[in-house]
Amino acid sequence: MATGTPEPTAPTTFPLPKPLQYPASTPPTLITQGAEGRLYKTTYLVPSLPCALKYRLPKPYRHPLLDQRLTRHRIISEARILVKCRREGIAVPAVYAIDEKSGCLSVEWIEGDPVRAALNTYLLQNLEADASVDAHVKDLMRRVGRAVGRLHQIGVVHGDLTTSNMMLREEKAAEATGKGILDGEIVLIDFGLASQSFQDEDRAVDLYVLERAFGSTHPRAEVLFDELLEGYKETFKQANVSIKKLEEVRLRGRKRSMIG
């Protein structure tokens, strides 16, 4: 689930949840840090079981009691949504442990590359190819669309849909079977901003965020966003309603860009 360059020397002085206090656990290694918290790689209970540890940093500008309540709510909400997704057969990390008091959530470590890195590498390796007709890129877009469709079908909106928050899970013996860099199961990660909603507006905003992300990080593949929406239709029964609402969200976004 690596989304950045590991920093082994980064500080790890924070209250570890009890499952990570066992002697068999591996000391956490900082992978990346965002506005809401840090992501570490460690192990769960035994050294052979890697896990991702999300730690929500205390916010000194907030009242301590309010900060504690918000952290508790967000950690529990993320864990519940992940459990719901797993129960419905959606590819997301399994929840291992939660310590809402210390702001820690331990989940399954997904081996593989973020879709963002894999797609950019592929496009860089194929500079002469036309991404709009590339079969491998089109297939990836369809698979991403199907993954988002499954999520919306069960009433969950991600809140931060980007190709950085999607992993291509490594398949065993991938090299031996001739699998390419864009192959692998799409696994959605980082549900820190996710919520449960059946509102078409919320689903459309989810799609709009993803579309904007494609435009800024994969400009050569942006023309294939309609291919993604075709995959979305395959797994979400009310896709046409959400896509129609997406047009309204796009219009509002363009107006904001013109006004500044």
Determine the pLDDT at residue 111: 93
From CA 4, how far away is CA 114, in angstroms rounded? Answer: 10
Q: Which of 115, 112, 228 is nearest to 164 (CA)?
A: 115
Identify the DSSP state of 131. T
From CA 185, how far away is CA 208, in angstroms rounded? Answer: 23
Question: Element (H or E) spanning 225, and its range?
Answer: helix 225-235
- Is pLDDT of 10 > 90? no
The CATH class for the domain spanning 18-108 reads alpha beta
Identify the DSSP state of 218. -
Residue ranges matching CATH 3.30.200.20 in the chain: 18-108
Residue 132 vs residue 115, higher pLDDT: 115
Residue ranges matching CATH 1.10.510.10 in the chain: 112-259
- Is pLDDT of 13 > 70? no
Determine the pLDDT at residue 176: 43
From CA 56, how far away is CA 74, in angstroms rounded? Answer: 9
Q: Which of 67, 139, 160, 200 is catalytic?
A: 160
Per-residue pLDDT band for 173 (boundaries 50, 70, 90) equals very low
Lowest mean pLDDT among 83-87, 101-105, 153-157: 101-105
Burial class (CB in 10 A: 0-12, 13-18, 19+), 152: buried
What is the value of pTM for the model shown? 0.86
The average pLDDT across 7-33 equals: 62
Task: Pull the structure tokens for residue 252.
Answer: 């509002």
Name the CATH topology of 112-259: Transferase(Phosphotransferase); domain 1 (1.10.510)
Residue 160 vs residue 256, higher pLDDT: 160
Q: Is 160 a catalytic residue?
A: yes
| 3-state secondary structure labels for all residues of 46-68 | CCCCEEEEEEECCCCCCCHHHHH
Lowest mean pLDDT among 21-25, 30-34, 66-70, 134-138: 21-25
- Is pLDDT of 9 > 50? no
